[in-house]
Amino acid sequence: MYIVCSDLEGVFVPEIWVNVSSHTGIDELKLTTRDISDYNILMHRRLELLKKYGLTLRDVQNVISLLKPLPGALEFIDWLRTKTQLIVVSDTFTEFAEPLIRQLGRPTLFCHHLTTDSEGNITDYNLRQEDAKKHVVEALQTLNYKVIAIGDSYNDISMLRKADHGILYNPPQNVADEHNDLKVIKTYLSLKRFISQIIQCEE
Q: Which residues are catalytically annotated?
A: 7, 9
To which H or E segment does residue 59 belong? helix 57-64
Residues 90 and 111: beta-carbon distance below 8 Å: yes
The sign one gets for the Cα dihedral 88, 94, 96, 101 is: positive
β-bridge partners, 114: 125
SS3 content of the chain, % helix, strand, coil (to 5): 45, 20, 30
Length of the chain: 203
The sign one gets for the Cα dihedral 49, 50, 53, 59 is: positive
Integer CA distances (angstroms), 157 to 34, 57, 58, 146, 171, in order: 11, 29, 31, 17, 11
Distance of alpha carbon 102 from alpha carbon 152, whole angstroms: 22
For residue 2, give the amino acid letter.
Y
